[in-house]
Amino acid sequence: MFKRIWGYIRTLFRQKAESAMKPEVEIEQAINEARKQDSALRQQAAKVIAHRTKLEARIEKAADDVGDAREMAKQALLRAEKARAAGDAEGTAKWTQSAQSLAMKLQAAQNNLDGLKEQYEIALDQAEEAKNAVQQNAMRVQELTAKRMQLLGQLEQAKMQESVNKAMESLTATVETDAPSLSRVEEKIQGRLAEAKANAELREATPEGAESELREAVSLAQADDTLAELRAELGLEGPAGELTS
């Protein structure tokens, strides 16, 4: 049970940490990790290639040793044959023994050379594999670098869109909560209009309203008389189409 709880806690902590990690930081971490791996890979590849180069030098020296041992063995055989022809038994035994010793040395040098050649064949393959690995990882670093540029561009676009979304949310909230709606404005106007009409109706029903109406009628009658006088002076027709006298 404790193991399961601990696993749950670790998973939860990792998820929280990943969600808190900024995308641009994660991108840089991936690039840095790839570069570190590339550096380590290059060092290992350099050691493999250096081993191949060392083997080339050792093979060259071993080949020289084989050549020298072969030449010396030949010379010992020639001298042993010369001593035998001269009837020199002691010289013949001496140079024959020397030729045998040189032959053993030649065999050892040849075995060493053959072993080095086998190692060299393996080193050649390993060097090629190391160079290919370095090349592939270098391409991987370039791909990550290009990907970083793309991701950073997308991240900036996402930030801009998020900013616009927040502005729109704030604008919508302001319009909905603070700004009066048209329906409320219309309701207020209709309320004021109804109140004005009601006040006018009440005024007409009062003595003051009747007096005002009477004054308006008298004013209209006086205005008509004045217009009739003006028409008469001008010799114009009256309202009924007759000439004024």
Query: Each residue of 79-115: pLDDT tens digit?
Result: 999 999 999 999 999 999 999 999 999 999 999 999 9
For residue 137, CA distances in Å to 35, 134, 222 come to 9, 5, 109
Quote the pLDDT of residue 43: 87
Tokens, residue 16: 């929280």
For residue 9, CA distances in Å to 1, 3, 4, 5 come to 12, 10, 9, 6
pLDDT at 8 over 60: no
Quote the pLDDT of residue 207: 63
* Burial environment of residue 130 by CB neighbours within 10 A (0 to 12, 13 to 18, 19 or more): buried
pLDDT at 63 over 90: yes
Tokens, residue 37: 């791996």
Tokens, residue 165: 């979304």
Q: How far apart are CA 51 and CA 237, in angstroms?
A: 133
For residue 237, CA distances in Å to 47, 67, 223, 225, 242 come to 128, 153, 17, 14, 5
Write the CB contacts of 30 (distance below 8 Å, at least 6 apart in sequence): 144, 148
Q: Does the predicted model carry a pTM greater than 0.75?
A: no
What's the residue count for the chain? 245
Q: How far apart are CA 133 and CA 212, in angstroms?
A: 108
Is the model more confident about 52 or about 4? 52
Place of tokens 């690039």: 31
